[in-house]
Amino acid sequence: MSSSKRSTIIVEHLRKQQMREAISRSKRLDGRDLDEMRTLEIELGIIGKADGSSRVRLGNSEVVAGVKVETGTPFEGLENKGALILSAEVLPIASPYVEPGPPDEETIELARVVDRGVRESEMVDLDKLALIPGKVVYTIFVDCSIINYDGNLFDASSYAVVSALMSSKLPVFEVQDGEAVVNTGKKMDPPLTTIPVSITAVKIGDSVILDPTAEEEACMDARITITTNSEGKFAALQKGSTGSFTIDQIKKAAEIARIKGEEVRTKIKELTSNGH
Amino acid sequence: MVQTRSLIDEHGRRTDGRTMDELRNVKIQVGIVKNADGSAYIEFGKNRIIAAVYGPREVHPKHMAQPDRCVLRCRYHMSPFSTDTRKNPAPSRREVEISKVMREALEPALMLEDYPRAAIDVFVEVLQADGGSRCAGITAASVALADAGINMRDIVPACAAGKVDGKIVLDINDVEDKEGSADMPLAYMPHLERVTLLQLDGILNQEEFNECLDKALQGCKMIYEIQRRALIQKYFGDEQELKEES
């Protein structure tokens, strides 16, 4: 059951007031402009045992994503497609406010929103990943572990998943005699079609800011995460938190997501091409 | 998503005979769960959904109580027989997420500060699902909240629009959801003019995005009228409705 709760990060009353006041003057407490993202760092191939991996730092938020590829049965209704399974876990090391245990609704939402961006943009061409249609297909797991929480886990996790997939090498499975599936020991590039980029904006007072820190998230009224593909089209969107937006604010946020998304996409391409 | 057949015919009719801007049949009945403080039953196309509200009441466990406002709790649940293949009755990740976005869609409309240290529980049970069940659920839940006499700033109708066969259409049904190319559910407070729920699955360009948003908004306004009439019907009867229309 979903229940309203107090904010997890305690931002003292004065600090909150200070933040709202600064934002109303188009300044943020960490000195950024309202539409300025924090520095994005991506390291690839940090987990040798994974088929693809990345460590993403967005300011002080840090996420590690790993790709593991196996064979399995296809999903019902999608018999001729490979399976893509995405998860996210906010580890207890990530913040003093996180406790171990089964994922809560916020973590489930996080994984589902990141999944939606990758799935709906059709980043991975799953049609190319069936082995024996209806019986055996490639199953790609992408798991995200949140190492440090300082806000905007939606974008940090999304960039981690995307860059881990971009840098991954899939094992080549072959079908022998129409029924046995064997691992050939060879590797191949994953069939990727586009680079989905999510941009998260939050509303504090009447201002909309990008890439919120944990402190800013604790003060937000409402959140919106918008994912665009390489063509600048919208692929997924999720409004969150208990506030509301006007239609104009949403249309404006969508436009910003498209423009900023392209900037981040260029950056991800640049950071993932080094040494690959 | 694979397009296996044409979902809009040459006359601009959809699989269920509707035009591009037509809602499915929507019927709302207020106060159908006797024990609840407020309730509503909605038929939205083939969706059959009951929403029941209990509260404001004491919070259990007690540590969940908040000194300055009421706790809102929401549960969206699908009955095992509501779908084509039986649904496991345990809450799925999808249901957990919908419970959350549903709570966030309703909360802005409620004056929770009027009921400190209490809880309001909203239960949405999907008896039969037909695409757009979260929108129908929110629509029914906000009527049930009004029926329970909870102080509210506005009512929250919800409706989806989407892209099917390259066209933007109102109120996506089950087939269109599965075979169409985009689905955008929206919840909107018509008097405060605020969006309280918005999601999108599928590809839209900027122009289509704006068109979709505007279309879903029109749908919400139509559903609001149906919500209003259902509430008038319960509290003032047919007489009032006739008077109003003449």
Q: Where are the domains of chain A?
A: 39-273
The predicted pLDDT at position A276 comes to: 45
Q: What are the residues facing A228 on neighbouring strands? A: A197, A234
Which helix (H) or strand (E) segment holds residue A85: the answer is: strand A83-90
List all residues 6 or more positions away from A132 whose beta carbon is below 8 Å from its beta carbon: A175, A178, A179, A181
Percent of chain B with pLDDT strictly greater than 90: 87
Q: Which of A76, A109, A239 sits opposite B97 (nearest CB)?
A: A109
The predicted pLDDT at position A191 comes to: 97
Out of A262-266, B164-168, B241-245, pick the least confident. B241-245
Measure the CA–CA gap between B188 and B191, rounded to whole angstroms.
9
The predicted pLDDT at position B246 comes to: 57
The predicted pLDDT at position B5 comes to: 74
Q: Which of A1, A106, A245 sits opposite B99 (nearest CB)?
A: A1
Q: Is residue B123 part of a domain?
A: yes
Measure the CA–CA gap between B139 and B243, rounded to whole angstroms.
25
Q: How far is B212 from chain A (nearest CA, A)?
A: 11
- The band of A4, judged by pLDDT with boundaries at 50, 70 and 90, is confident
Considering only CB atoms, which chain A residues are within 8 Å of B71? 3-5
Q: What share of chain A is helix, strand, coil (3-state, %, to 5)?
A: 30, 35, 35
In total, how many domains does chain B have? 1
Considering only CB atoms, which chain B residues are within 8 Å of A245? 194-195, 198
Contact A244 B203 (CB under 8 A): no
Domain A39-273 is of which CATH architecture? 2-Layer Sandwich (3.30)
Amino acid sitting at position B14: R
Angle formed by the axes of helices A247-273 and B206-245, nearest 10°: 160
Positive or negative, the CA dihedral B210, B212, B214, B217 is: negative
| ipTM of the predicted assembly exceeds 0.95 | no
CA distances from B103 to A3, B37, B134, B150, B196 (A): 8, 18, 11, 15, 10
- The band of B241, judged by pLDDT with boundaries at 50, 70 and 90, is low
Which helix (H) or strand (E) segment holds residue A78: the answer is: none
Contact A236 B200 (CB under 8 A): yes
CA distances from A242 to A213, A216, B44, B102, B196 (A): 18, 15, 26, 10, 8
Mutation target for B interface from A4, A194, A248: give the one with most B CBs within 10 A: A4
List all residues 6 or more positions away from B90 whose beta carbon is below 8 Å from its beta carbon: none
Considering only CB atoms, which chain B residues are within 8 Å of A246? 193-195
Q: Is residue B8 part of a domain?
A: no
Measure the CA–CA gap between A261 and A232, rounded to whole angstroms.
8
Q: Is residue B162 part of a domain?
A: yes
Quote the mean pLDDT of chain B. Answer: 93
**Mean pLDDT throughout B201-227?**
96
List all residues 6 or more positions away from A81 whose beta carbon is below 8 Å from its beta carbon: A74, A75, A126, A127, A129, A130, A137
Segment A146-199, tens digit of pLDDT: 999 999 999 999 999 999 999 999 999 999 887 888 999 999 999 999 999 999
- The band of A65, judged by pLDDT with boundaries at 50, 70 and 90, is very high
* Domain interval for residue B66: 26-241
Q: Give the domain CATH number at B69.
A: 3.30.230.70
Interface residues of chain B, partner chain A, Cβ below 8 Å: 64, 66, 71-75, 85, 93-94, 96-97, 99-104, 107-108, 112, 121, 184, 189, 192-206, 209-210, 213-214, 217
Over 50: is that where the pLDDT of B32 sits?
yes
The predicted pLDDT at position A179 comes to: 80
DSSP three-state, residue A123? coil
Residue A223 CA, chain-centre distance (Å), reads: 15
Considering only CB atoms, which chain A residues are within 8 Å of B217? 247
**Mean pLDDT throughout A192-212?**
95
Segment A95-125, tens digit of pLDDT: 988 888 888 999 999 999 999 999 999 999 9
Quote the mean pLDDT of chain A. Answer: 93
> Which tokens hold the place of A72?
């399995």
The predicted pLDDT at position B240 comes to: 62
